[in-house]
């Protein structure tokens, strides 16, 4: 029985529906896919396709994957903890904490608030427009921000929503400036260890592999599969470098949404959203996305895409947490992955 309290037939039905949805997802062209569903602290997995094209093996149990922009929710949580501690003010300009860092080409840190960074309403250009995702070399956060500052501001702060990884590189730099410790250290101390996320980590500087059992991540170049599992994720940094499992990601979002990581006032700020085209009908808060699902449940999460891996999911108000991972980004769209999330959330 799922979680010990759900009728056995219901558990079987959900597993069947999720399994079929994963098979359909793999038919879209991605090598493999895995779903992890968690309720009342108990998790189960379903997988389809190959986690390793060389051996044909499926995703391993409790597979560690690069979770990409789910990192942003960890970073935003730490920033909001610092807000709760009185060390950061949400509506203060980022220039107060990082003087002179955001400057040039219409980018002005004296007019962009911490809230606008976390909410993606800063107008700052994405450094990836300049650099592209380059896992072949190491980047320092300041280097990524400097690349962004060579580009023109996209709009007046607070007037629009537009996803920009630069916002979260700056949020990571803010954490380091205020605490004296790296975002990796603070995320580990404040979130990973207290929640017992034993398969979650922020890669060490220059670390290119994935620790523990993991699928291979792929890209397609000129119609051929290229293994891109090993890369230096410093180009993603506080915007996307972390590694985790579906089980741990589910546990994190469940803990966050039930108030275990933030006081009520800061969690409420995190859930204040603006319309965002990250998913159809979605709203973006402070590193947290309100995700529409077909059955009308309230669902919050994030998602991430990094060469080799795409993850989508979140947790519903009634406590079902879902994480779906595919091991190739380009073959299948986010919408295809979200269909599996929707099935896992709405099936009963």
pLDDT confidence of residue 225: 92
pTM: 0.96
pLDDT confidence of residue 4: 39
pLDDT confidence of residue 8: 47
**CA torsion angle 341 343 344 346 (round to 10):** 110
Tens-place pLDDT, residues 114-161: 999 999 999 999 999 999 889 999 999 999 999 999 999 999 999 999
Q: Quick check: 6 pLDDT over 70? A: no
pLDDT confidence of residue 101: 98
Q: How far apart (Å, rounded) are the C-alpha atoms in residues 185 and 175? A: 10
pLDDT confidence of residue 188: 98
Placement of tokens 């979140």 in the chain: 314
Active site residue 69: yes
Which residues share a beta bridge with 275? 283
Q: Which of 43, 48, 69, 305 is catalytic?
A: 69
Q: What are the structure tokens assigned to 183, written together?
A: 């975002």
> 3-state DSSP call for residue 261?
coil
The Cα angle at residue 97 between residues 290 and 167, in degrees rounded to 5: 35
Mean pLDDT across the stretch 82-110?
98
Tens-place pLDDT, residues 54-77: 999 999 999 999 999 999 999 999
The values of phi and psi at residue 261, to 5°, are -110, -20
Half-sphere exposure (Cβ direction) of 256: Cα atoms closer than 13 Å: 36
Q: How far apart (Å, rounded) are the C-alpha atoms in residues 117 and 253? A: 21
Domains, the chain, ordered by start: 1-293+302-348 (3.40.710.10)
Kindly report the number of other CB atoms within 10 A of residue 276's CB atom: 19
Q: Are 88 and 251 a contacting pair, CB within 8 Å?
A: no
Q: What is the DSSP letter of 94?
A: G
pLDDT confidence of residue 10: 53
């Amino acid at each position: 029985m799922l979680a010990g309290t759900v009728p056995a037939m219901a558990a079987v039905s959900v597993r069947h529906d999720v399994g079929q949805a994963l098979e359909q997802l793999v038919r879209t062209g991605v090598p493999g896919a895995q779903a992890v569903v968690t309720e009342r602290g108990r998790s189960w997995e379903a997988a389809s396709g190959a986690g390793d094209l060389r051996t044909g093996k499926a995703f391993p149990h409790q597979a560690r994957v690069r979770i990409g922009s789910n990192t942003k929710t960890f970073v935003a949580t730490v920033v909001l903890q610092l807000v709760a501690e009185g060390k950061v003010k949400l509506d203060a300009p980022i220039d107060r904490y990082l003087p002179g860092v955001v400057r040039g080409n219409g980018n002005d840190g004296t007019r962009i608030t911490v809230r606008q960074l976390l909410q993606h309403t800063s107008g700052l250009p994405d450094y990836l427009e300049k650099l592209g995702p380059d896992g072949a070399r190491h980047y320092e956060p300041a280097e990524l921000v400097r690349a962004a500052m060579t580009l023109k501001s996209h709009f007046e702060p607070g007037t629009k929503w537009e996803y920009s990884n630069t916002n979260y590189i700056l949020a990571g730099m803010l954490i380091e400036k205020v605490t004296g410790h790296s975002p990796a250290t603070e995320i580990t101390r404040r979130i990973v260890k207290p929640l017992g996320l034993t398969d979650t980590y922020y890669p060490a500087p220059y670390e290119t592999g994935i620790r523990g059992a993991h699928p291979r991540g792929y890209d397609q170049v000129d119609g051929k599969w290229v293994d891109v599992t090993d890369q230096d994720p410093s180009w993603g940094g506080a915007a996307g470098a972390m590694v985790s499992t579906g089980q741990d990601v589910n546990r994190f979002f469940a803990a966050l949404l039930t108030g275990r990581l933030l006081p009520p006032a800061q969690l409420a700020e995190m859930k204040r959203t603006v319309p965002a085209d990250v998913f159809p009908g979605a709203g973006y808060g402070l590193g947290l996305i309100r995700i529409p699902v077909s059955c009308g449940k309230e669902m919050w999460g994030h998602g991430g895409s990094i060469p080799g891996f795409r993850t989508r999911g979140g947790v519903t108000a009634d406590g079902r947490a879902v994480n779906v991972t595919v091991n190739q980004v380009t073959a299948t769209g986010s919408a295809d992955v979200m269909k599996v999330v929707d099935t896992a959330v709405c099936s009963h």
